[in-house]
Amino acid sequence: MIIIPARMASNRFPNKILADINGLPMVIATAKRVHELDTVVIATDSQEVIDLAKEYGYKAVMTGTNHQSGTDRINEAASKLDIDENEVIVNVQADEPFIEPEVVQKVIDRVKNSDAMMVSCYKLIDKTFANDPNHVKVINDANENAIYFSRSKIPYDREEHLEYFGHLGIYGFTKKSLKEFCALSPAPLENIEKLEQLRAIYYGKKIAMVRVESESFGIDTAEDLKKALDYFKEK
């Protein structure tokens, strides 16, 4: 199952999940990108989004307004749905309207073959993206498990010749591991960087990573939206 957390409030880009993406609201454009992979459910705090999902033929679940993260929101939605504890649940952020379905499929496949608490993905990025705090970076260990995520450029490279890896905001769990993650208290690192996945690392839990090829990037600001629309218009 793919659950898309769709919170209306956004500090940097209010109501961004309703922004127009080639004639579709962003959250619906994202759902359409991945709906052939599995059942799609939208988890929201807005009746407007509930109605919008229904209009386009998607199931939606009303969730609370005070969740710490999108993952906490999809956990509430999952708890309200009649699904098995071993069901694979993938959190695809509503601000990824250009995500490639094959990227999400790789996350699904890794969850099925991993004992990690969660699975996510990353790609090679250039220095422009590496220097942009709106684009999250990740460093991994030799077994392709995440060591750390940051909005800063990591690791520090004294000689400026390293490759940098960007994190894509796709998270895979089983229903059971999702519940375990959300039972953890919010972590100081998570609050400092505003990155929910740091909760798992803070408590010593494993995040398995999958390297992917992707041109997509999350849309956090109005400038990101313009950049994305201009870029993908040329594709």
Question: 206 exposed, middle or buried (CB, 10 Å; 0-12, 13-18, 19+)?
Answer: middle
pLDDT at 234: 57
Q: Across residues 37-53, what is the average pLDDT?
A: 96
pLDDT of residue 59: 97
User: What is the CB neighbour count within 10 angstroms for residue 23?
Assistant: 7
pLDDT of residue 11: 63
Q: What mean pLDDT value characterizes the chain?
A: 92
Q: What is the pLDDT of residues 57-107, one digit of tens each?
A: 999 999 998 888 889 999 999 999 989 999 999 999 998 999 999 999 999
**For the residues 140-165, what does the mean pLDDT come to?**
92
Write the CB contacts of 226 (distance below 8 Å, at least 6 apart in sequence): none
Contact predicate 114/81, CB 8 Å: no
Residue predicted with more confidence, 159 or 43? 43
Strand partners, 119: 172, 208
Domains of the chain: 2-233 (3.90.550.10)
State the pairing for strand pair 2-6/40-44. parallel
Residue range 129-142, pLDDT digits in tens: 899 898 899 999 99
pLDDT at 15: 84
Q: How confident is the model at residue 171 (pLDDT cuts 50, 70, 90)?
A: very high
